[in-house]
Amino acid sequence: MSKDARPLNSLIPMVRMRARDIDEPGRVSSPLELLFDLTFVVAISSIVGQLAHAIAEDHLDTALPNYLMVFFAIWWAWLNFTWFASAYDTDDVPYRLLTMVQMGGVLVLAAGVPSAFETGDFTLITLGYFIMRIALVVQWLRAAAQDPSGRATALRYALGIAVVQSLWILRLFFTQGFPFGAQVAIFVILALCEMAVPLWAERGQMTSWHPHHVAERYSLFTIILLGESVLASSVSVQSVVSAGSSSGEFVVLAASGLALLFGLWWVYFLEPAHEGLERNRDRAFYWGYGHYVVFASLAALGAGLEVSVEAIGHHLEAPPIVVAYSIAIPVSVFLVSLWVLNRPLNGPTVIPPAVSLGGAGVVLLLPLLTGALALAGVVLGITIVIALVIALTILLRRPRATATPATPAAPA
C-alpha cells in the first residue's frame, strides 16, 4: 500500500492521492467497488430484458446494434472506473463522493435503456454517461494535482475524456433525423475515439494498476453477468409455472440452462489471468479491451435463455432455430474470444485450440438439429459440449506420468 493510503475504517476525511504499489500484497476489491458494481446490475438487467424481447419478436435488425451500443456505454464506464481505482483508489471522502456520482450516472443510463431500444432515443443514456465521465475527469484532475510523478498521464486522461465527451453531446443534438446506419457509424467512430484515449494518455508512462486486483475485478463482473442470466431465466421460469405450462421439456431446459451457466463460469476460471497480466503488463490493453466481446456475449446469453424458457409456454414470433441460435452464438463467441484473449497472456497453458475452437464449432452446428430435436434437447447438447471442453482441458493439462526406473537387483 502506498504511504498515503489508509485503512477502510479510518476517519481521516481526505488523503493525498498517490499511485498505489503494483506489488501491493493482499490487494482485493474494496467494499466501495462492490457497491459500485451493484448499480450495473440494474443497467445489465434492463438491456438483457430488451434484447430478449427483440429476439422473441424476431426483429434483431435494429435491436442488435442498439444492444451493442448501449452495452459499450455500460462496459466502458465500468472499465474506466476499474482501472482508475486500481491505480489511485484512496477511499477517502472526495473519492467516495465522486464514486457515488458515477453510480448515479449508471442509474440514469439504465433508465434510458428502454427508450433507446424502442425509439432510438439515447438522451437519457447520454446524460447518464456524461455524469459518469465528468466525475471521472474530476478524479483524474485530482490525481494530476496530487501525484506529480503521474501528472502528465493524468492530464492527458482528463483532456481526452472531456473532448470525447463533448463529441457525444454534439452527437445527441446534431444526428437527430440521421438514417439509422449513419447514427451507428458515428457511434462506432466515437467509441474508437474513447478507446484511443487510454492508448494516448499512457504512451509515456503507464498507470500503476495492480494485476491481481484488475483480474479479480473482471472476474467479479463476469459473475455479475452470469447472475443476470440466472435472474432472467428464473423470471421466465416463474411465468411458465404460473401459467401451468411446465412439462418434461421445461425441466430439461431449466436444468440444462443452469448447468450451462455453471460450465461457462468454470471455463472462464480455468485461466489464471492475474498471472498472465503480471508477466505481460504490456498486453493489458489487448486483454482489457477484448473483454467487451466476452462480457457482451454473456449478457446476450441471458437474453437467449430467457427467450428459450418463454418459448415453451408462449407462442413467439421468432422460429425455434432463431431461439436456439440466440444461445449457441453467445456461447461460441464466449469460447473463441476467451481463447483469443488468454493465449497471448498464458501461452500454451490455455485451453487447447482444438478443444476451444472445436467446441465452438460444434455448438454452432447444434441449432441445425432444431427440427429433429426439441429446443430443450439443443440446449442440453450445448451444455454437454461445454462439459466436454472442461473435461478435456483438465485431462490434457494433467502432467504425464513418467516411468520410474527399475531398481537394479542386488548382487548375489
Task: Give the sign of the dihedral formed by CA 301, CA 293, CA 162, CA 211.
Answer: positive
Q: Cα–Cα distance between 35 and 85 in angstroms, integer?
A: 13
Q: Which amino acid is at 149?
A: S
Question: 283: buried, middle or exposed (CB in 10 Å: 19+, 13-18, 0-12)?
Answer: middle
**Inter-residue contact 110 to 128 (CB < 8 Å):** yes
Is it the case that residue 219 has pLDDT exceeding 90?
A: yes
Q: What is the mean pLDDT of residues 355-359?
A: 90
pLDDT at position 348 is: 64
Is it the case that residue 7 has pLDDT exceeding 60?
A: no
- Write the CB contacts of 11 (distance below 8 Å, at least 6 apart in sequence): none
DSSP string of 152-175, one letter each residue: HHHHHHHHHHHHHHHHHHHHHHH-
Q: Cα–Cα distance between 299 and 43 in angstroms, integer?
A: 11
| Domain locations along the chain | 31-201, 211-397
Cell readout for 298 is 454473456
Q: 321-352: per-residue pLDDT in tens?
A: 999 999 999 999 999 999 898 888 776 666 77
DSSP string of 15-52, one letter each residue: ----PPPTT-TT----HHHHHHHHHHHHHHHHHHHHHH
- Write the CB contacts of 146 (distance below 8 Å, at least 6 apart in sequence): 16, 17, 18
Q: What is the mean pLDDT of residues 51-70?
A: 89
Q: What is the mean pLDDT of residues 309-318?
A: 78
Percentage of residues of the chain with pLDDT beyond 90? 54
Most confident of 49-58, 133-142, 251-260: 133-142
Q: Cα–Cα distance between 71 and 232 in angstroms, integer?
A: 17
Is it the case that residue 4 has pLDDT exceeding 70?
A: no
Q: Cα–Cα distance between 276 and 42 in angstroms, integer?
A: 32
SS3 275: helix
- Write the CB contacts of 87 (distance below 8 Å, at least 6 apart in sequence): 19, 20, 150, 207, 208, 209, 210
Q: CB 203: neighbour CB atoms within 10 A?
A: 11
Residue 253, CB-side half-sphere exposure with 13 Å CA sphere: 28
Chain position carrying cell 431465466: 233
Q: What is the mean pLDDT of residues 234-254?
A: 70
pLDDT at position 402 is: 40
Task: Classify residue 400 by its DSSP letter.
Answer: P
pLDDT at position 247 is: 67
Q: How confident is the model at residue 412 (pLDDT cuts 50, 70, 90)?
A: very low
pLDDT at position 151 is: 93
pLDDT at position 301 is: 95
The average confidence (pLDDT) of the chain is: 86
